[in-house]
Structure 1
Amino acid sequence: MDELGARAAALVARHPRDARLRRVGTSREGTPLWLLSVGHGSRQALVVAGPHANEPVGGATVLRVAERALADPRLCEGADATWNLLLCLDPDGARRNEAWLSGPYTLGNYFRHFFRPGFLEQPEWLPEGVDGATLPETRALLDLQDELRPFLQCSLHGVDVGGAFVELTRELPGIAQRVAHTATRLGIPRELGPYDTLYWPSLGPAVYRIPPPRRGDLAAAITEAAVESTWFHPHPYGTVTAVVEAPMWGVAAVEDPTRPADAATALRTVSHTLRRDTGLLEGILARVRPVLGGSPDVARLLAPVDDYLLVGPGLADSWDPDLCHAGARPLPPLTIARLTALRLAGRRVALRTAGLLHQLVTGSGHDPRGVLPELDRLIDEWCADYRDGCGAHWIPVARQVEYQARVVLAVFDLAGRHARVPSRSSETGWGSQAAVPMHRE
C-alpha cells in the first residue's frame, strides 16, 4: 500500500498540470482512500482497484492506465474524458495480504497468508441497501459515484486460480472479441463458465451480464451476491459497470467448451470432496475456537471462516446430482470448462478456510490442540491438487496487469461509443428485467 501511494504521488509530481491526487475518504483503521485523477474532460470514468483485499493486481493496473492516459491524448482530450482512479477500496484488508506479495509466488504461500474480510465487511456490497451502508469505504465510494456520475465504472478484480472474464451491467457489443484478442496475445486463459456467473446470461465467450440485485438470506448473499451493490448504484446515471477479472494462477481447462463424458460422476466427486473437506475444517475449528480468545484480530479472521463454513455444505448439496429434488434450480449445461470452474471453486472454499485457520493458530503463538501439522498437510495436499491435478500455473504480474489494463481501455472505448442518457424509468428502478441470482465467489 505504501508503494502504491508513493508511485501515484510521484506520477502527479511529474505531471502536475494533468494529474492530481486527493483524499476521498478514510478506512475503518484510518488509512486514506486516495483518488488519482488524470485529464480535464467533462465525461468521467471511474476505476476502482482493490475492492477485494486478496486481489492486488488492480493497484498496479490503475497506475498503468494513468500512465497510458497521460501519454495518449486520445484517452483524455480526444475523448473529453477524465480518468478517476481509486487506488484501493479496502486498504486495511490489502495490508493483511502483504505477507505474500513479495513472493515466493506459490499457492501454499498465498493461501497461508490469504485474507479477505467476512461478507458483511466487503465494501462493494450493500446488504442493507444504500441507506444502511455503514462501512466508511462503502460510503466514500457511493459519494464518489454520486459526485462523478460516471459514464463508465470499472471494478478491478483478480481470480486466484482460474481464468479471465468480464461482467457487465449493460451490454457492450464487441467486448468479447477484444477480450479474446487480448487474452490470446498474452497467453491468459479465458473462463467460459465461471462459478461466479453460473446462472448469468452470457454476452459472448468469457463476458457475462450482471443481473439486477434481489433480496435473499445471508447464505444466498455470500454465494450469489443477492444484494444491492456499488456496481449498480450509479446505474440510474446511465453508467456502464464492468467487473474485470484477471487470474493470478491460470488453468487451461477453464476455456474447454467440450462436453464431458460423464458429467454426473465428475459433479458427484466435486460435491463429495467439498462436503468432506468442510467437515474436516469444521472439526478443526471446533477444537481451536475455545482457545482463540475474543480479540478484534481473532474476530476479523473468524468472520470469513464462519462465512465459508456456512456456505460450503449448501454448495456441495446444490452440485450433487444425487440430491436433485423438485423445484431445485438446475445447473446449466455442463462443459469441461464449467466442471473445472466448480472443482476450482470447491477447493477454493476449503483452502481459504484452512489458510485463515492456520493464521489464527500461528497468530496466537501456541498450538494447544496440535492442529498446525494437520492444517499444513491439508494445505499442501489441496495446493498440489490445484497444481498437479488442475495444471494451475503462475501468470507473471506484468502480464496480469497488461491484460487488465488493455481490457479497461477496451471497455472505455466501447462504453464511450455506446454512452447512454438516463431515461426517466432508469432513474427510478432497474426496469423490467427478471431478477436472476447474482453469483459471486
Structure 2
Amino acid sequence: MKILHLIASAICMLSLELKAEELEVIHWWTSGGEVKSVNSLKKMFISSGHTWKDSKIIGGGGENANKALMQRISSGDSPGVVQLKSASIPHWGSMGALQEVNRTAVNQKWDNILPTEVSRGLKYKGSYVSVPLNVHRINWIWMNAAVMNKINAKAPSSFKELFETLEAIKSKTKVLPIAHGGQSWQDATLFEQVLLAIAGIDTYRGMFIDLDATVAKSAKVLKVFRVIRKLTTFMADDRKGLDWDKATKQVIEGRAAMQFMGDWAKGEFLSAGLQPGRDFICWVTPGLEGFIYTIDAFAFFKTKENKSKQAQSQLAQLIMTKEFQREFNKRKGSIPARTDVLLNGFDNCAKQSAKDFSRTANKGLLAPSFAHGNAQPSDIQGALIEVISLFMSSSMPPEMGRDRLISVLEEFE
C-alpha cells in the first residue's frame, strides 16, 4: 500500500498545475473483500490530489446500478465514472454519453500491454472509453477444505465424481452440500459454468454470442438442464434472495461445503483470514476445457462542462500502473488485466487462473461471461436469465426449460 501512495504522490507532483476535481464513481462493490479492494484505489486517487465521491449501489450484480445510471443520464446529470460491463458500451456510446481517454491509453501503450480479448471490450468505435481493473474467472468451485477432508473427498474431476461427493456430504454430514443464492444472476452464473463444462465452447458461443436457437436444440443442452436440476437438489430450499457473499460465508464457516462462483468469492475467503490449499480449495468446474471471464472496468462519462476530464484521465492512469494492478487484484481475488505484471506474491489459485487464461486464449477457448454482461446487452441478457432463473426456482421439467430458452433465442435471431 505504501508503494501505491508513493506512485500516486509522484503522479500528483507531475500534475501540480492541474486543478483538483471531484470525481463521482458509481459501483456495486459492497461486500467485505470488494470494499477493501476498491478502498485501495480510492486512497490512491485521493493521494493524487482529487476528490473521490463514492456512489455505491447495492444488489443485482450491477442491474440496480445500470437503472440508476439510466436515470442520471436521462436527467442530464451524468456521473464521471461507472463500473460497466463491455456489452453495455455500444449502447452508451451510441447515445454520445461516453468520454474517451485515448491520450492516456497511448501514453501508457494500452494496446501493447492488454490482451486483445480485453482491449476490444474497452473501446467504442476504436477509442478507449473504459479502463480494466482485472480479469475474473467465472468457472470456479470453492470448497471448504475441512468439510472435504471429513469425508475424505478430493476435488472432483468430472460431474460423476462431483455428484458422488455431494451425495457423501448429504449422507455423512449435517453440512449443506451447495451454497447458492437464489438470485437471477447467480442462477445464470451456475448455468453458464455447466453449459461450458458439458456442451463445450462452440455450443456456449452459439447460444450466448451468436444467439443461435438451433444450437440449443441439441441433446447436450438438454443434459445441461438435467444436471442443473440435479444440482438444485443439493441446495437450500429457502435460498431465494440470498446474496452471493452470504452464500460464500456459509462455505467459509463450514455450514456449506462448496459454491459455484467467480473468483471474487476468493476475496471473501482471504478477507476472513483463510488460506487457499489449507482452509479452502479452488477447483475449476470439471468438464470440457474453457475459461469464462468477466472484466471489472470503469467507463468514463461526459459530465457537465467536462468538469471531470482531468480527474478521469488521472484515474485511468493510476488504474493501469503495474503496482495498482498487483495490489488490487491480490485483494479482489482476480488477476491483473495487464499481461506484464509479475505474479510474485499471488496465491496458487490466481497463478492457475493466469496460466489458464493464457493457454485458453491461445487455443481459442475464451468465453465472455453471458451472466455478467460481457456477451449481450442487458435486454437480451435479461430475457435469457429470466428463463434460467425460473427453471431453477421451480419444478419445471428440463425439457420445458430448454424449450423456453429456445423460444427466447428465436426471438432475438
Query: Do they superpose with TM above 0.5?
Result: no
What TM-score do you get using the length of structure 1 for normalisation?
Answer: 0.31
